[in-house]
Amino acid sequence: MRLTIWDLAAATAPVDVTSGPAVERFVFVIDGAASIAEGANQRAIGKEMLVIVSPAARNVTLSDVKKGTALVAVFESLKP
């Protein structure tokens, strides 16, 4: 299992959480508000929300909604 913490407030562009191997990912919003998008589909996610990203998903991005607030944790398996 790998854990990555992203401070989306510091990101200059949306972060692609599906780059890398095709594995199931769990995105947990630690603090603030974020936006998760796949293509034209976009959804706001807030503090203490968990989103499961399928191994088949591609180009799923995260970005900060209220500039300066979003902190997220992404859990992913090391082996597909």
Residue 80 has pLDDT above 70, yes or no: no
The CATH number of 2-76, from 2.60.40.1260, 3.50.50.60, 3.40.630.40, 2.60.120.10, is 2.60.120.10
Q: What residue ranges do the domains of the chain occupy?
A: 2-76
**For the residues 68-78, what does the mean pLDDT come to?**
90
The predicted-structure confidence for 3-54, as pLDDT tens digits, reads as follows 999 999 888 889 999 988 999 999 999 999 999 999 889 999 999 999 999 9
8 phi and psi angles, rounded to 5 deg: -65, -20
Quote the CA–CA distance of 2 and 45 in Å, as a whole number: 22
